């Protein structure tokens, strides 16, 4: 017997596995704070041909891959003092 602990996740995974769109699954992971898993799903989906909603999946991936707001300042500090 298979117990479904998370029906929303189960549905999104099953839909993608059965040939559907990965965007709902990647979005769900991102909404839940699982950015790394969302990125893996997005990259895997973009590796398929054809990839439904490729543009939206790429946009989602770009939001996951954005550097933190303080990243520029940290890089400047590292350049100024490489021993950090």
Between CA 38 and CA 66 the distance in angstroms is: 13
Q: Structure tokens of 12?
A: 């999104």
Residue 72 is predicted with a pLDDT of: 78
pTM of the model: 0.73
Between CA 45 and CA 43 the distance in angstroms is: 5
Between CA 68 and CA 59 the distance in angstroms is: 17
Residue 13 is predicted with a pLDDT of: 94
- pLDDT tens for residues 30-84? 999 999 899 999 999 999 888 889 999 999 988 886 667 787 788 888 888 877 4
Model confidence band, residue 21 (pLDDT cutoffs 50, 70, 90): very high
How many CB atoms are located within 10 Å of the residue 76 CB? Answer: 10
Q: Where are the domains of the chain?
A: 7-80
């Amino acid at each position: 017997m298979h117990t479904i602990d998370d029906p929303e996740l189960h549905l999104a995974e099953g839909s993608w596995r059965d040939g559907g769109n990965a965007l709902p699954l990647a979005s769900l992971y991102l909404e839940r704070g699982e950015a790394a898993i969302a990125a893996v799903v997005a990259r895997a989906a973009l590796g398929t041909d054809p990839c439904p909603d490729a543009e939206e999946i790429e946009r989602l991936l770009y939001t996951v891959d954005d550097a933190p707001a303080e990243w520029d300042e940290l890089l400047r500090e590292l350049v100024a003092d490489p021993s950090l």
